[in-house]
Amino acid sequence: MNFEKNILITGGAGFIGSHVVRRFVKHYANYRVVNLDKLTYAGNLENLRDIEDSENYRFIKGDICDAGFIQKLFEEYQFDGVIHLAAESHVDRSISNPMAFVETNVIGTVTLLNAAKSIWKEMSGKRFYHVSTDEVYGSLGDEGLFTESTSYDPKSPYSASKAASDHFVRAYQNTYGMPIVLSNCSNNYGSYHFPEKLIPLTINNIKNNEAIPVYGKGENIRDWLFVEDHARAIDVIFHEGKEGETYNIGGFNEWKNIDLVHLLCDIMDSKLGREAGTSRKLISYIKDRAGHDMRYAIDASKLKDELGWEPSLQFEEGLEKTVDWYLANQSWLEDVTSGDYQNYYKEHYQS
C-alpha cells in the first residue's frame, strides 16, 4: 500500500504516546504510523492492543540513543514527520538517577535531530515536533500563568533535561533550518497512565485499601489536562501549527494536590459502594519531594486563538471517566503494578 506520509512517533507505547498513536492510526489511514519505543517500565504494548493489526501501523522496538539504528530507520522509512514523545518523565526518578534523563531526553533528542538532518535534504513538507513539559518554566507564585514567552527556569533534573532538549530543537532550526514545532503541556491524566503518578497511584491504592502518599501538606498546585485532549492538540499542532512556533497546552484547570486526592477519594467511595469518607482515612502525608515546585499553570490561549483547540471535558467529568476506566481494566493495572513498580513504590512511598 502506498502511503501519503510516513510518520515516526517515539515513545508511542507510553501513556501520552499511545493516545497519540491511536489517534493518528485511526484518523489518518493514508499515513503509515511507525511507533518506536524502547519498552522500558512505562512502555506497554497492551496500551495499543486495539490498533496493533491496523494496516497503517508498525511497531519497532528500539533506543533513540542508538545513532546507527536511528539512522538506518530514517533511511528505510524516509519519514516525513517526527512526533517526539519518548522521554524519562518522572521527577522522583530523575532525582535518584539524573544521568538516565540526560541520556534519553537530551542525547536521544539530538540523535533524532541528527538523523532527520541527514535524511531531509529537502526540508519542505517535513516536520519535527518536539513534545515537552510546562516544568521547564520552573515554579509560579500564587498568581500568573506560564506563556510561550515565559523564561526557562527548570528546578529538577527532569525539567532541566527537557529544557536542554527544547533548546537543542530550537538550535537545530536556527542553525540548520530544521522545520520544527514544540509544545509544552501541563499534567496529563486519563487511561493507560503508569501508576507511579498521582491520579492512578491514588486510584490503585484506594482500591487496595493502601495508604495514599501525599507530599508535604498537599498544597502544591497543578493544571490538569485530559490525555485525549492532549492527543487532539498534538494532532492540530502537527498539521496546522506555524513552523518554529511553541504552543502551550493546558486544561485551564488548577487543583491543589490534596483537593484532587479528596475528590478522588469521594468518587472512589461512591463507585466502590463504601461509606462516604472511608477513603480519605487512607491519606498519608510524607516528606516533601526535594525542590518540589509549588505551582504550575498554563495559559493555552495562543493554541485556542490561533488553532481553535480547547479542552473538551470539565475536570470532574474527565476524572470520573478515568476512574471508570481503571476499575474496568483491573488486569491491565495488575500487570503493570508488578515487578519494577512494586520495588519503586516500596522504596519511595512506604519508607
Residues marked active site are found at 134-135, 158
Three-state SS for 267-284 is: HHHHHHCCCCCCHHHHEE
* Best CA proximity match to 113, nearest among 39, 41, 178, 60: 178
> Cβ of 328: how many Cβ atoms within 10 Å?
9
State the helix-helix crossing angle for 257-272 and 198-207, rounded to 10 degrees. Answer: 40
* Best CA proximity match to 89, nearest among 22, 11, 145, 151: 11
* Best CA proximity match to 183, nearest among 85, 65, 294: 85
Sign of CA dihedral 261, 264, 268, 270: positive
**DSSP per residue, 209-247:** T--EEEETTS--EEEEEEHHHHHHHHHHHHHHSPTT-EE
Question: DSSP state, 195?
Answer: T
Amino acid at 55: E
